[in-house]
Chains A and B, each alone.
Chain A
């Protein structure tokens, strides 16, 4: 079945540091890929997405590129801020079929220190 593997956290960075959170997936065909962010005590918010190979999703300074050859969708940001502290989830949606449910990674806790 489909699966998503994220780098284990927690990740602690200083403000303005470079961020990478690794995400790899296992799926048939070309799934859609997503990054969601969850701030403390809240629901999930869609951060960015990519629907086909080599697409780059971007939002709020975050970027991720859909790499079919390495089945990866790593999240990057050039300069993190304290306000980026949250849990980040990688997720995939199968390309077709009646189910088409999101499969989530286990989440990566990011803490940014001033």
Chain B
């Protein structure tokens, strides 16, 4: 089955530590995204990547870093510089074009809940 996997589902981190969240997709999608969700709020874009080896900052990139070395993988590192990292993190992907058809839908993974102790 095609889809997006995120691991781990739950992650605990001590203050001052960096931690990396995994996101893998086997949908052959071009674009990948990372969002942060806080209780009672909508999703905020952290980083996105439209092609391999290229990525752009979203609205709240400070304290986060990403890489896109492979089409199917887009890991997110939460660094110690992120002052309030406890949140639910969602990865998404989108097939941008197929032939002349533009695709708008983003598909989401199950999420990783990060808690800083």
Residues of B within 8 A of A (CB): 4, 6, 33, 40-43, 45, 48, 58, 90, 92, 104-111
Contacts and interface: CB of A to CB of B under 8 A. Distances in A.
A107 B40 contact: yes
Given A89-B42, A106-B41, A106-B42, A43 B108 contact: yes
A89 B90 CA distance: 14
Given A42-B111, A101-B58, A93 B45 contact: no
A51 interface: yes
A interface residue count range (under 10 / 10 to 19 / 20 to 34 / 35 or more): 20 to 34
B45 A101 contact: yes
Taking chain A's interface residues, is the majority helix, strand, or loop, or is none over half, making it mixed?
strand
A93 B104 contact: yes
A43 B42 contact: no
Q: Which 8 A-B pairs have the closest CB atoms?
A: A43-B108, A104-B42, A44-B108, A106-B42, A104-B43, A43-B110, A32-B104, A43-B111
Contacts of A45: 108
Nearest to A46: B105
A41 B106 CA distance: 19
